[in-house]
Chains A and B, each alone.
Chain A
Amino acid sequence: MINTKLDVSFSPHYTKSLSTNRIMLIMMCCLLPLIICGVVAFGVETLYLVLTCVCSCVIAEMGVNLIQKKQPISDLSPIITGLVLSCLLSPAIHLHYAFAASLFAIVIIKMIFGGIGKNIINPAAGGMLFVLLGFSKAFEQGFKGNISAKTTTESWGALFDGQKVKFVDLLFNSNAQTICSVCFLAIVVGAIVLICFKVIDWKIVVLMLASFTVFCFAFFGISKTPSLLFQTEVLFVIFFMATDIVTSPNSLFAKMIYAVLIGFLSSLFLWLGLEIGAAIISLILIDLIVPILDLFIVRIRPFKEKA
């Protein structure tokens, strides 16, 4: 039996199941282990920070959309911005700084440029930099994790030397200031899931890691590199922020240039003595040249018409 009214649509009638919202959902799930680690290491303050960031991001996006008379919330992107931003901050920070950072990230960096897909720099990175530059005091209140006794590299080094190490020491980093540097394993697990779902491209991630490691060797020598990789926010930035599909370039060649430059600049800033935010600042700087990369790296089109 055929219905009297048939559905008519334009081809293709069949699409890949990976939609924008599903990408965002996978991303959120991949951030969760890290946040749980943060809660375990720093206590409930972490949860307050995460909730503040997420809620203020969502409210900011809704507000701007309502002013522009659009649908208030069309996707999960503000939640991701909030989660990523909270990971970049220290749980010791006063919550009004977190609120200001979220507001700046969504309103100034994202919505003014035209909303999702149009922002030039990563909103979370922008929000973090806003707090870092505007209220540098916010980062001065140190907050030590209360679980582990050693830093990640110390305990893993001891494990490779054949000493007995506590399991908790292997997981957590005593030196951590921010949620994103508390447990590198949680980041790696999340990243592997992202790669499996093809949300991020493994080639770019590997290239970025390789470039960062190589330049760190060049600047610091072999002994200090592991601690820079596993105890700072670099790993988090590489896996969760530099692979952001909105702000990274489109073509593979441009992506490779982007990856190498990020590795180079972050190690350079670390070498120049920037303790917090070296990777964030390099990410923002490279994001700014992405439109130029996209414009000038033009593909050779084999089937082009003869002039």
Chain B
Amino acid sequence: MFGGIRFLKHNKEMMLKNKILSLEDPKVFEVPVVQHVGKPAIVCVAQNDRVLRGQLIAKAVGRISSNIYSPISGKVLGIYEKTISDGRTCEHVVIQNDLLYEEVFLPEIKQFSQQNVLIRILDAGIVGMSGSGYSTFAKLIPALGKRIETIVINCAECEEDIFSDSAILREHANQIVDGSKYLAIASGAKRIIFAIQKTKKQEISAIKNAIETSIVSAIRITPEIVFISEKYPIGAERLLLKDILNVTVRTGEYPIAYGICVNNPQTANAVFEAVCLNKPLFERVVTICGTAVAKPGIYLVKNGVRFEHIDEMLNKKDKPVSKIIINGLITGSSQMCGANVTTKVVSSINFKTIEKTRKQKEMVCISCGKCAEVCPMRLVPDMLDVAVINDDASLCKKLGLYECNLCGCCSYVCPSRRKMVQRFSTSKVLINERQENK
């Protein structure tokens, strides 16, 4: 990979901490019907209904939507509109926890054929759990005339402050390897690749063990392990594929055009749970850290838990939280209120105290060229920045605004604290909108 940044991982102990801890459940769950890209699911329960853990509460509509399942058994208190973690508003199914934990899971699969596994992935509401939230079912069904040859399990997890995938790899490597095989069955792929950094030794040995012991009768593929660079943002799909398979997925194309499907280890784990344990997707592993957290660690968190509740359970009482950042410090988003809830795509939560949040003033660009050195897409961010500020759509296109994958390396290294990636992401949307309106 060209460019990129090498972080000094501050939470080194957490990377090696072995246990996935469990979090005490709150009394009330608020499950949003939007936990994915695509249309909101349609609520199929009513107020005062009793739902069980693993019961369908909202049904997918459209091609890339996904089913939503109840994480808990209890009474539906109501259905309210509320904001979700990405700032949109949607309906939330509010369920009171009756502490009985009665379950109703999906029916067992009798034969692991391609069709059955695919339908199970659709039914279980599995979406890309790296943070994209794109329906895995839609990903596995390529357009006509295309075939998926390779499944890549992307274990890179190169962002600062996210360690969930590493933890689940250490603990459930056999489930993930089996899950990747079911993904291969569903897509008809002939090759499975695990892409992982060489420094993650425990994870690598766990995967190796799992590969040796894994037996899935319906398919005979031995997954391969490929080592990748340790720099951020190697986890970005296009950069990863360029590195491991030397496939250049150009702007405007998708890996599916080259017969590749990239998945997250947690997605593979969810596939295994859905296919073998008949468990739909309603919980995930989340890294909880930050200066305000007394017990940072990797927790199994159900969907629909308020950030406030997590804060109450884990944080120091004397340290008020002044900033909540989800999904990593470099590309994640800060939250407007603590009443937002966890979803399928929230992979890390960082609670910051007042001392650690400081405002940085934007200074004049001194054209040092540091941004161009680190840009993995080989753009020249400082020139692009001028084009974006001047609102010059044609120059933006010429300098490659649409190639930018918004990794944030330029803003991370900029000594003048230019908010470049911020402007790029907004103007990408704005210029597109303007062209559509014409």
**A251 neighbours in B (Cβ, 8 Å):** 369, 372, 380
Shortest A267–chain B CB gap in Å is 26
Check A6 against B334 for contact (C-beta < 8 Å): yes
Q: Does B421 contact A (CB under 8 A)?
A: yes
**B308 neighbours in A (Cβ, 8 Å):** 2
In the complex, per-residue mask of B284-326: 1 if CB is within 8 Å of any chain A CB, else 0: 0000000000000000000000011001000101011111110
Q: Does A32 contact B (CB under 8 A)?
A: no
Check B380 against A299 for contact (C-beta < 8 Å): yes
Q: Does A15 contact B (CB under 8 A)?
A: yes
Number of residue pairs spanning A and B whose beta carbons lie under 8 angstroms apart? 154
Shortest A292–chain B CB gap in Å is 14
Shortest B17–chain A CB gap in Å is 21
Check A250 against B321 for contact (C-beta < 8 Å): no
**B350 neighbours in A (Cβ, 8 Å):** 13
Check A19 against B417 for contact (C-beta < 8 Å): yes
Q: Does A134 contact B (CB under 8 A)?
A: no
Residue of A nearest to B381 (CB): A250
Check A1 against B320 for contact (C-beta < 8 Å): yes
**Which of A7, A18, A302, A305 is within 8 Å of B323, CB to CB?**
A7
**Which of B248, B322, B366 is within 8 Å of A302, CB to CB?**
B248
- Please report the C-alpha to C-alpha distance between residue A32 and residue B338 in the assembled complex, in whole angstroms: 50
Check B372 against A10 for contact (C-beta < 8 Å): no
Interface size in chain B (residues, C-beta < 8 A)? 64
Check B307 against A303 for contact (C-beta < 8 Å): no
Q: Which of B331-346 touch A at CB < 8 Å?
A: 331-338
Check A2 against B321 for contact (C-beta < 8 Å): yes
- Please report the C-alpha to C-alpha distance between residue A254 and residue B422 in the assembled complex, in whole angstroms: 28
**A11 neighbours in B (Cβ, 8 Å):** 329-334, 408, 421-422
Check B321 against A1 for contact (C-beta < 8 Å): yes
Q: Which of A5-28 touch B at CB < 8 Å?
A: 6-16, 18-20, 22-23
- Please report the C-alpha to C-alpha distance between residue A19 and residue B413 in the assembled complex, in whole angstroms: 9
- Please report the C-alpha to C-alpha distance between residue A252 and residue B369 in the assembled complex, in whole angstroms: 9
Q: Does A116 contact B (CB under 8 A)?
A: yes
Check A304 against B403 for contact (C-beta < 8 Å): yes
**A304 neighbours in B (Cβ, 8 Å):** 250-251, 400, 403
Do A16 and B412 contact each other (CB < 8 Å), given the known contacts A245-B368, A251-B372, A301-B403? Answer: yes
- Please report the C-alpha to C-alpha distance between residue A170 and residue B285 in the assembled complex, in whole angstroms: 64
**B329 neighbours in A (Cβ, 8 Å):** 11-14
Among B331, B372, B415, the most chain A Cβ lie within 10 Å of the Cβ of B415
Check A250 against B408 for contact (C-beta < 8 Å): no
Residue of B nearest to A245 (CB): B368
Check A302 against B378 for contact (C-beta < 8 Å): yes
Residues on A facing B (Cβ under 8 Å): 1-3, 6-16, 18-20, 22-23, 74-75, 115-118, 245-246, 248-252, 255, 299-306
Residues on B facing A (Cβ under 8 Å): 160, 238, 242, 248-253, 307-308, 311, 315, 317, 319-325, 329-338, 350, 352, 354, 357, 360, 363-369, 372-373, 377-380, 382, 400, 402-403, 408, 411-417, 419, 421-422
> What are 22 residue pairs bridging A and B, where the CB atoms are less than 8 Å apart in the complex?
A1-B319, A2-B321, A3-B321, A3-B322, A6-B334, A6-B335, A7-B322, A8-B334, A10-B334, A10-B419, A13-B323, A15-B360, A15-B412, A19-B415, A75-B363, A116-B364, A117-B364, A250-B368, A251-B380, A300-B378, A303-B377, A306-B253
Lowest 7 CB-CB distances: which A-B pairs, in order?
A: A250-B369, A2-B338, A245-B368, A14-B329, A10-B422, A117-B366, A12-B408
